[in-house]
Structure 1
């Protein structure tokens, strides 16, 4: 299934995309794409619906972040061998983890704000893992049983804030609109070979990132198991799993994002995003 949340910010309602590309309203079935809805039983209930009988929604409606009730981002850095190489950093022995404020979460086609004082605004196409059931100290063999599905994520970053302002990476990762997620949560049964998905990101129509999840250093099951040793993962939690090469930070002459730029990105089978950069108020 492809599950969605649509409507104005803060007032999104649950929906799904049917096999004909029609957005169907789930408001009479569930309150949100969150909590127990993300469990195997909750997803099975939705999968059993006669989607043709559900009300259709205007395709022009705003698409929100594809999951609600998110308690945390558990982000993974330097998780692509080719990206680590472009950054001039060694391949890590263990996953590099960092946080991102939940207030950064936004829809896949919402505007990206350039923060006040920003000089090095960057982009990162990433595969996001959406947790479906509580995971604490789970083994790698058990890990995928706790995953509801996957989504496209743009880990928008302000590199000056991240690298040169002291402290943790979270400073450069957490401005409002720095977490576009969606358009869909694609359930595990429809996501294909998650270890071999093509990825891309364009700026103003020019290709910046081309990659594949096959160059991930630590795979999804390993990451879920590893992170669950340090924090309990709850339904709706999001794990962005790292980015392939091509980010502005890795360029000899970095082409940082600026107001007016158009960012388009996607992952095979998981959909596409489009964002316009605007100055923050």
Structure 2
């Protein structure tokens, strides 16, 4: 099942993509006004049941897609998680025994098809294609061998970054990672029953059709299960929380000279088992 959140005619809703259109499940399951509410109730089976015999209510291109979970409690991001990313920094630092982490705010992301924005204070808007885990079942101190049972599904992200603002202070990337509408999540969440998260997934990122990032999750230093095990040693993961699991080599900052995003560019992040997240770039309206 491919679950989407969307807005149409001034109304926010959620549903499932079927035959190129959207079945409005919020209208059929009024007890669950949002995807997060559905996950908190452990009610994905009710969504599946509501789809039986249903035909689309809306065309996919007639709505504005939003991040699949519009109101997560936590968006946790993993840095430097592909085996060759550490060398890409060229700082001589050894690989660490634990993953690097930071957090992002929901307003820093838009959905599929909505432009991401370059702020007026910097021209260093960069892209980072990533796979995103959506938590479906709460847990603390979750062992790796049970971790994937807590995942409701997976989506994609362009974890857009304002690079020079990640270096404003020591040990701090928060500013450069949280400009409004600089990243994107979507286009939908593929539920865990429709994707094997333990198998290698092939992730690519293109800019204007040019391949920039190309890797598989087999090269991750910390697997999806290990990330959940590590995070839940200090935090309780809750339904609707999202984990951005890291980006491969090939971000714009690593070219010489750097290749920053500019208005008119189109960034596409793809995993065959999930889909394609595509966003153009504009200057932030002033």
Same structural fold, with TM-score higher than 0.5 when normalized by the shorter chain: yes
CA shift at 1:220, angstroms? Answer: 0.7
Aligned to 2:254: 250
What SS class does the counterpart of residue 46 from structure 1 fall into? helix
Distance 1:163 1:129 in 2: 27
Q: Distance in 1 between matches of 2:41 and 2:33?
A: 17
Whether 1:198 and 2:202 are equivalent positions in the alignment is: yes
CA contact (8 A) 1:40 1:148 kept: no
Using the TM superposition, give the Cα deviation of residue 164 of structure 1 relative to its aligned residue in structure 2, in angstroms.
Answer: 4.3
What 5-or-longer segments of structure 2 have no aligned partner?
none
How many equivalent pairs are there?
A: 279
CA contact (8 A) 1:81 1:91 kept: no
Structure 1 residues 10, 132: closer, same or farther in 2, change over 3 A? farther
Q: Distance in 1 between matches of 2:250 and 2:10?
A: 33
For residues 119-177 of structure 1, the C-alpha deviation after alignment (integer angstroms, 9 at most, x for no partner) is 32110000101011212122222222211111011110011001245551111100111
TM-score (norm 2): 0.91
Q: Verify the 8 A CA contact 2:270 2:277 in the aligned structure 1.
A: yes
User: What SS does the aligned partner of 1:48 have?
Assistant: helix
- 1:9–1:64 CA contact under 8 A, matched in 2: no
- Considering fraction of residues, name the structure with more strand: 2
Q: How does 1:23-42 map to 2 (within 5 A)?
A: 23-27=22-26, 28-29=28-29, 30-35=32-37, 37-38=38-39, 41-42=42-43
- TM-score between the two structures when normalised by the length of structure 1: 0.92
Where do 4+ consecutive residues of structure 1 move more than 6 Å?
Answer: none
Partner Cα separation in structure 2 for residue 85 and residue 55 of structure 1: 48
- Report the equivalent of 1:133: 137
Cα distance in structure 2, aligned partners of 1:130 and 1:10: 26
2:70 to 63, 68, 71: 68
Aligned position for 1:223: 227
**Distance (whole Å) between structure 2 residues aligned to residue 218 and residue 195 of structure 1:** 14
How much does 1:193 deviate? Answer: 4.5
Tell me what 1:58 maps to: 59
Q: CA deviation at 1:68?
A: 2.9
Task: Please tell me whether the aligned partners of residues 138 and 228 of structure 1 are also in contact (alpha carbons under 8 angstroms).
Answer: yes
Name the CA distance, whole Å, in 1 between partners of 2:222 and 2:188.
24
- Work out whether residues 71 and 106 of structure 2, in 8 Å CA contact, stay in contact via their aligned partners in 1: no
Matched residues in 2 for 1:90 and 1:132: separation?
34
- Is the contact made by 2:5 and 2:14 (CA closer than 8 Å) also made in structure 1? yes
Q: Distance in 1 between matches of 2:71 and 2:9?
A: 14
In the alignment, structure 1 segments of 5+ residues that lack a partner are: none
1:22 counterpart residue number: 21
The alpha-carbon distance between structure 1 residues 9 and 274, as it changes in their structure 2 partners (threshold 3 A), is farther
Q: How does 1:130-169 map to 2 (within 5 A)?
A: 130-166=134-170, 168-169=172-173
The CA deviation at 1:272 is 0.8
